Structure 1
Amino acid sequence: MDSKLSNLNYCKNCGFEINNFAFCPECGAKKITKRITFKNLTQEFSDRFLNLDNSFIRTFVHLFTKPKDVIDGFINGLRKRYINVFSYFAISLTIASLYTFILKKYMEDIFAKTMVSEEQMEVSKIASDISFEYQSITSFLTIPILALISRLVFLNYKKYNLTEHLVIHLYAYSHITMVISFITLPILLTVENLYLVLWIQFPTSIFYIAYVLKKLYDLSWKKIILKTLLFFVIMSILFVIFSIVVAFIMIQTGVMPIDGTSSI
């Protein structure tokens, strides 16, 4: 069987003429001249996901070492060197979903070894079930809130607008979600200590976001610490307002009666 495809004169993706090109000059797609075989399929997988030069690994590493290059580059039109922000967010959601899928199987044992009472365990189970079920929705809601707070904190700086802060936090949130998943899953499955994981998650997330903003705005450590404290103040105020609104709605709907008994 012939392993070659018929001669390609036009790009299959955009229709641009590609007679003498290995890649389409219009959309950048690779010119495919061979039929799919196990060998070239594994080669393509290796090139895309295992090659140190591929865009995912480059993006992942540079969000540690050069976050300004990745994020500021995307904001200013750089599209080919790194994975775009929406694809990176989608990858992080996939990894977080896999993390949740694995964790669900062991949560009961983890709670049994961490919690000191049956009541505490029951409340924690309910909270984790809600968190797991609405994980994607929570991510979609959390990032705009972080972007809004971040824009308020840096209101005296005109470098990035609100939409650009959304891009910043999409990258930062996606990255730290993946990193924390990679770090905490082995800890939970071996040490089985939920509190240890929580102590890792929160400071790591705060430090990384502060680090990214420091690099993007070229701030000193003193200034970024002050900005982080202001971030906490605004976030705490919004959290209190949100908690009051939720509690009021729950009381009005009978989910949380004032006498403490639930109608559910």
Structure 2
Amino acid sequence: MDDNLTDHVSCKNCGFQIDHYTFCPSCGAKKITKRITFKNLTQEFSDRFLNLDNSFIRTFIHLFTKPRTVIDGYINGLRKRYINVFSYFAISLTIASLYIFILGKYKDVLFSNVFTDVNQIEASKAASDISFEYQSLISFLTIPVLALISRLVFLNYKKYNLTEHFVIHLYAYSHITMVISFITLPLLLTLKNAFLILWIQFPISIIYIAYVLKNLYEINLKRIVIKTILFLLIMSVLFVIFSIIVAIIMVKMGLIPNGETSSI
């Protein structure tokens, strides 16, 4: 069988004439001239995910070393050098879903190491089941809330609007979610009482978000500390309101008896 594809004249994605081009001038897609084989499939995987020069690795590293270049660049039109924000979020959700799936297999052991009361264990399992089941939805709903809070915190700065704060937190949340998944999962599965590691996820996330915002707004350490405290105060109020709503919903669904809501 001929390994070459017969139609090299038009782009398979948009139909533009590309007989003399390697990449489509209209949509940027690469011209494919070979049939799919195991060799070129593994080569494509290697090029996309294992090559240190590819956009995923570059985006991942630079969100540590120079987040302003990645995020501010995207906001201002830089779209080719790094993975776009929604693709990065999709990768993050995939990794987080795998993390949640594995974590769910060991939740009985993890909760038993933390709680001794049977009712507390069952209530915690019920709460975790909901968070596991709706993890993707929770992640997507969390980002607008973070964007709104940071926009309020930086209300005296006109550099970024609310939508641009959404992009900032979409990148930052996706990045720190991947990092935490990579770091904590091996520890959770190997260390005794490793459930306590879950409690460090929140401060790590806040520190990283503060680091990103400090870089983007180019402010000093004292100012970002003040902004972070204000950020946490607003978040705490919203968290209390959200916790009350979740507790009421869980009671209405029969997941928690009425007498146990005070222990949540």
Query: Quick check: TM above 0.5?
Result: yes
Q: 1:33 to 1:244 in 2, by over 3 A?
A: closer
Cα drift, residue 114 of structure 1: 2.7
Aligned residue number for residue 186 of structure 1? 186
- Aligned to 1:228, what secondary structure does the other structure show? helix
Please list every run of at least 4 consecutive aligned residues from structure 1 whose deviation after the TM superposition is greater than 3 angstroms.
240-251, 253-259
Residue in 2 that maps onto 1:10: 10
Contact 1:16/1:24 (8 A) holds in 2: yes
| RMSD of Structure 2 on Structure 1 (CA) | 2.3
Change beyond 3 A, Cα 1:248–1:199: closer
- Cα distance, 1:147 vs. partner? 0.5
Distance 1:4 1:243, change over 3 A: closer
Counterpart AA for 1:154: F
Residue in 2 that maps onto 1:152? 152
Distance apart, 1:139 and its partner CA: 0.9
Matched with 1:29 is 29
Say which SS state the counterpart of residue 86 (structure 1) adopts. Answer: helix
1:245 shift after superposition: 5.4
Report the AA paired with residue 123 of structure 2: V
Name the counterpart of 1:260: 259
Tell me if the contact between 1:5 and 1:34 (Cα under 8 Å) persists in the aligned partners. Answer: yes
Which residue of 1 is the match for residue 64 of structure 2? 64
Output the TM-score relative to the length of structure 2: 0.91
Q: Per-residue deviation at 1:65?
A: 0.8
> 1:84 — aligned with what?
84
CA displacement, residues 181-235 of structure 1 (integer Å, 9 cap, x when unaligned) = 1111011100142443123201110100000000100011111100000101111
1:1-264 to structure 2, matched below 5 A, reads: 1-243=1-243, 260=259
8 A contact 1:153–1:230 mirrored in 2: yes
d(CA) in 2 for partners of 1:106, 1:199 = 17
Structure 2 CA distance for partners of 1:15 and 1:107, relative to 1, 3 Å: same
Unaligned segments of structure 1, at least 5 residues: none
Contact 1:111 1:194 in 2 (8 A): no
Between 211-220 and 53-62, the greater mean CA deviation after superposition: 53-62
Shift of 1:237: 2.3
Identical residues among aligned pairs (%): 73
Unaligned runs of 5+ in 2: none
Structure 1 stretch displaced more, 145-154 or 126-135 = 126-135
Shift of 1:136: 1.3
Q: Is the 8 A contact 1:110 1:194 kept in 2?
A: yes
Equivalent pairs counted in the alignment come to: 261
Structure 1 residues 123-169: Cα deviation after superposition (integer angstroms, max 9, x where no partner): 22122111111111211211111100000000000000000000111
